[in-house]
Chains A and B, each alone.
Chain A
Amino acid sequence: MTSLASLPPAAIPPEDEALRPEVKAFLAKQLEDMPPERRARSWMGSDPAFSRALGQRGWLGLSLPKRYGGAERGFFARFVIAEELLAAGAPVAAHWITDRQSGPLILRYGTEAQRAFYLPKISAGEIFFCIGMSEPNSGSDLASVRTRAEPLPGGGYRLNGRKIWTSNAAICHYMIALVRTSGTPDDRQKGLSQVIIDLRQPGIAIRPIRDLSGDAHFAEVTFDDVLMPAEALIGEEGAGWEQVNAELAFERSGPERILSSMVLVDTWLGYLKSLPAHGRDDIVLVGRLAAHLAALRALSLSVTARLVAGDSPVVHAALVKDLGTTYEQMIPQAIAAAIAADPGASPPDALLRTLAYTVSMAPSFSLRGGTREILRGMIARGIGLR
């Protein structure tokens, strides 16, 4: 039996906290005219120009070294900026995954040439990456991926296969994909590698998939005899599985696993504040929302401190994500109940539209980035049950 180490509390260093007012001021101006139902898309809403504007301000690539165009500020600086972007509902999807995990991945596993080529452009908000893990027949069972990068005799690879649910593929320049470079699907984790695919080359088709809210943020991407140079490989051939898992620690512990429903919360609070009086049930719900936000934020900060220390807190990150997405999913249901508790109440249309969007997308919160059941399985392994 092993119990999972408890993490000490962590605080944002003052020099990183100091970034906040400037970010707030910038966002207040940029988002002035964006209605809440659009802002509710949060890290699902994209605007490449907005992402580039962030890059110009030095707010991307915060954890990357200066020699690669980064700010060399680390994960807490990123935490502050991420919190503000998400709370405001800024359209961050274009650069989000790139900034969160592709940049750190290339820094950690890339060759000097790869770092020098990609990282400055990432920091400037000029290039965007998407994540090609899932396939039509490989969801939770990621080790079963079939997309194949066949090593060619003279070096380089020939790529065939299909990725699906790839967020923002249509506006991205590159995909970092988990593919098989040797063996067969029966070899499972062995023989998998990560490759950087330039999405603008021949043999690649990107078909956007419309989601139930009417957006088409994700896509199916097919590869048909795509030729890639040897430099497409990132990290070690055959080490794809370990690399993907390290990446997931960045993906799962951040504020985006807590704040996905925050625009709805703040829109509802705005409505409540406009009312002359409040029922006790509403006040209690407001208090619960604040209380859980506080505890989750504290936990997320503790995991961020482990990232800063150079650890890869995969199990703790899974834990934050499961707790955080449970909170994110509770919010739209609870607010729906609160809004219509009085059948005669007439809440603003924008609030109702924000609610409709958030309710419809909420199921995805515990799917994207690994399902609830898979995360709990990882935690069970972390406590020695598997």
Chain B
Amino acid sequence: MTDSLIADSADRLMAEVVTPAAVRGLKDRASAAPVWMQLAESGFLDALVAEAQGGAGLSAAETLPVLLAAGRHALPLPLAATMAARTAIAAARETIPEGIIAIAAAARADDGALVAQVPAGEFADMVLVPDGDGAILLAADAAHREATGEGTFCRMRWRAANGPRLPGFDALLCGARIETAEMVGAMEALCATTLRYANDRAQFGKPIGKFQAVQQQLAVMTELVHGARAAAHLAAAAPGSMEAVAAAKVTIGEGAMEVAAIAHAVHGAIGMTEELDLHLLSDRLRRGRLRYGSEPYWAERLGRAVLAAPDATLLDFVRTRVFF
């Protein structure tokens, strides 16, 4: 499939299946099954799995449009995480389990139990949890689950951690990359929605988009979306690079705050209502920033790498460690 074919079919799928009503339902803990079934039927689940293992063998960069589309519709289910997890499981020659797979951000041992922070964990059948220098695949049923109540993640506790191991799988890196891509999708949708609103809403006898102050804000929003998309492309092109993913998480996280603020400012009071879908997108950005480490976490990792590198200039570092 070419880039635009993937983008078109992902867009069509999400528009049909991931409706605002469905997103609201999922946020209210409705069953994930109806939405998930249609996503699973789409064929995207094994898009990244190697051809030799029965998948489509696409790269992270080639499937970026799917993640962007998911973000544009604020999909709460871990479709992209499941895609990545299935690929890693197949690569480790383990059997791919049925159902929804979430990727945990972090885990710690606690009195012999394993406690993990799991974005979208409330929907998961299985969870890939960081473990040593890899990850371990655990059944969600075996865990005690405690949602935070605001959608960012679920705290899950396994008394005994038994499951297949995926050596070398960096759950945090993978999760952060996915999260940034979906955030960019949400930023795109916020920008488009806000632009439409600025053309429709009239005050002082003309569309508010005719006022220079509003125009300048929409211009900034457009810039930030383009910058964020460029960063998401970098991370997608180098999914194994801490530096590339860190660059994306930092810049997209910072841009997301500003984009959400402008979207709400331009919408005025109507943007504060439950009824308008705007908050589904701005809330998606809030969750994205909190998941898999926020900007300071990734900036610190990146900063340490810069200071430890022998490069003569920051440009040398960025050129050779972020661009591939």
Q: Which residues of A contact B (CB under 8 A)?
A: 1, 3-4, 6-9, 11, 83, 87-88, 259, 262, 265-266, 269, 272-273, 278, 280, 282-299, 302, 316, 319, 322-323, 373, 375-377, 379-380, 382-386
- Beta-carbon contact of B226 and A6 below 8 Å: yes
Partner of B306, one of A3, A6, A287, A373: A287
For B220, give the chain A residue with the smallest CB separation: A376
Interface membership of B195, Cβ < 8 A: yes
- Beta-carbon contact of B212 and A295 below 8 Å: no
- Beta-carbon contact of A319 and B231 below 8 Å: no
List CB contacts (< 8 Å) of B287-309 with chain A. Answer: 295-296, 298-304, 306-307
> What mask results when residues 230 to 268 of chain B are scored 1 for a CB within 8 Å of chain A, else 0?
110110010000011011101100100000000000000
Partner of B199, one of A1, A287, A319, A379: A1
- Measured in the bound complex, the distance between the Cα atoms of B299 and A383 in whole Å is 32
Interface membership of B317, Cβ < 8 A: yes
Interface membership of B318, Cβ < 8 A: yes
- Measured in the bound complex, the distance between the Cα atoms of B220 and A375 in whole Å is 10
Give 15 new A-B contacts, CB below 8 A, not counting A9-B61, A379-B223.
A1-B196, A4-B222, A7-B226, A88-B313, A283-B304, A287-B300, A290-B314, A290-B318, A291-B251, A291-B302, A295-B247, A297-B315, A297-B318, A298-B231, A375-B219
Q: Chain B at the A interface: mostly helix, strand, loop or mixed?
A: helix
Interface membership of B9, Cβ < 8 A: no
Interface size on B, residues (CB 8 A): 58
- Measured in the bound complex, the distance between the Cα atoms of B237 and A376 in whole Å is 30
Known A-B contacts A377-B212, A385-B209; A269 and B306 likewise in contact (beta carbons under 8 Å): yes
- Beta-carbon contact of B303 and A299 below 8 Å: no
Interface membership of B198, Cβ < 8 A: yes
> What mask results when residues 187 to 224 of chain B are scored 1 for a CB within 8 Å of chain A, else 0?
00001100110110000000001101011101110111
Known A-B contacts A273-B307, A298-B231; A377 and B237 likewise in contact (beta carbons under 8 Å): no
- Measured in the bound complex, the distance between the Cα atoms of B313 and A269 in whole Å is 8
Most buried by A among B220, B224, B314, B319: B314
CB distance from B231 to the nearest CB of A (A): 4
- Measured in the bound complex, the distance between the Cα atoms of B199 and A178 in whole Å is 35
- Measured in the bound complex, the distance between the Cα atoms of B209 and A290 in whole Å is 35
CB distance from A377 to the nearest CB of B (A): 7
Sorted nearest first, the 4 A-B pairs with minimum C-beta distance are A287-B299, A287-B303, A287-B302, A286-B303
Known A-B contacts A385-B198, A386-B215; A266 and B306 likewise in contact (beta carbons under 8 Å): no
- Beta-carbon contact of A259 and B210 below 8 Å: no
